[in-house]
Copies of this chain bind each other. A is one copy, B any other.
Amino acid sequence: MAWTTTESAGDGFIERPFAFDAPTSGSWIPGVYRAPENGGGADRLVLLGHGGTTDKHAPYIVEVARQLAQRGIASMAIDGPGHGERATAGAAPGLEWLARVWEDGGGTNGVISDWGEALDFIEAEFGARTTGWWGLSMGTMMGLPVSASDERIQVALLGLMGVGGPNSDDLERLAPQLACPVRFLVQWDDEIVPRATALELFGLLGSTKKTLHANPGIHVAVPGFEVAASVEYLDHHLR
């Protein structure tokens, strides 16, 4: 596990790519660590889980990293199974494809260990810090299991996911084990995740402090003010 290239300056943050071979899944996991531009003194960290068919460099992931950095919070993102630099040729994005790459990547347990080992690496480098999760859609397929099973996650921003999809059984099983404060985003007119399944998943979350925020619009149309508020939410709970 190592830093792979030299750091580069982003929009308000410094980006350092890394990669490692995950012991559990055997997969090669590429990631990026983003630190506030004004130095490595960030004493808080957020794990950024991208959505399906996107990756660790998706514009909205970069935007959340930027807003976190503005508040002095570092972030880490890795590519999910079959996504970004882990993509294989000939992919035809869709639910069947997502189920296949998810299983090829070791399924939910593989995802949990990928993120846990990436966090180990960052903590070995910079020390343990107050840590949160931000991830929607596939970012919740990954983030709900990670947040429910890794005690280092102290607050989670989840959403755009329901009881359904490739790891539906795992989500149903692990949701009641989630204990940290969570904000859960729903798009009222979500054409990919039926509203009723998202409401059902929110209902299953074990956290006593959980709040659902729903706005009109399709899956990808999360309002900018809600994204900004989600960063403020993590900032507040990571203090």
Instruction: Report which A residues bind B (CB closer than 8 A).
Output: 186, 188, 199, 202-203, 208, 210-216, 226
Contacts and interface: CB of A to CB of B under 8 A. Distances in A.
A226 B215 CA distance: 17
- Counting every copy of the chain, the complex holds 2
A203 B226 CA distance: 18
Contact of A216 (B186, B199, B208, B215): B208
A156 to B, nearest CB: 16
9 contacts: A186-B212, A188-B202, A202-B214, A210-B215, A211-B214, A211-B215, A211-B226, A212-B212, A213-B213
Contacts of A188: 202-203, 212
Given A211-B213, A211-B226, 17 more contacts: A186-B212, A188-B202, A188-B203, A188-B212, A199-B199, A202-B214, A208-B216, A210-B215, A210-B216, A211-B214, A211-B215, A212-B212, A212-B213, A212-B214, A212-B215, A213-B213, A214-B214
A212 to B, nearest CB: 4
Contacts of A208: 216
Nearest to A226: B211
Nearest to A189: B203
A210 B217 CA distance: 10
